[in-house]
Structure 1
Amino acid sequence: MKQIAAVIIPLSLLLAGCSLMNSESESTPASAAATSSGNAEPAVQISRNQVGSLVKSGNITVSERGSPMDAEQALQQKANENGARYYQVIYISETVTPGVWRGEAIIYR
């Protein structure tokens, strides 16, 4: 048992160190929308890795009949209506009713 622990612990530390050495991490999205006057540009979907120092302004939810892409479009439209520059999709999932999709996203200004 001690031999297994002696192998597993150094390997897990080595693998954890590899993730720290990854220089290809995603950065905060370019703020092209921040330089324009008003909010003429549509909200941009970002990943969790890109949130960085963006300021959260709330959550939005949608319920759409159709496909997952319809729910995704509805999330972007609702983000635009709320004046968001960016949004991060938390989930898109089919409800108990077939063909009805529910989605939630975090919006950022």
Structure 2
Amino acid sequence: MALSFFNEAILDRGTMRISTAEMSITRMWSLPPLGVFKVNMDASWHGVDGGGHIGVVIRDSTCRCLAVCRKQICATSVLITEALGILEGCRTALRWSCEDVVVESDSRNLISWLNENIE
């Protein structure tokens, strides 16, 4: 259910393949496979005012940076902030016509939740 919701949320045009195996938590960045784009994101949340920021970087298999974005957001929790970061990363990848992506996040809780709730 979670993956279908995520796919519906990001697919304003085009197609994108994301699967549980591609949602990963890493301590060290590595190149994606040939023909695949890696979407890395990070988020920060300020509990006092509910504000936060997300940052996204998209690189190809030659380590070339295709896109970078930073956005100020409002969210109710760290988990929501991280989820919005992944959503923005996927939307950015679509704008750059990246159809085959690997998504990386340092949010163990979010990745675990997505993996448990994907159909």
TM-score with structure 1 setting the length: 0.34
Higher Cα radius of gyration: 1
Instruction: Considering Cα pairs closer than 8 Å and 6+ residues apart, tell me whether 1 or 2 has the greater RCO.
Output: 2
TM-score with structure 2 setting the length: 0.32
Which structure is higher in helix share?
Answer: 1
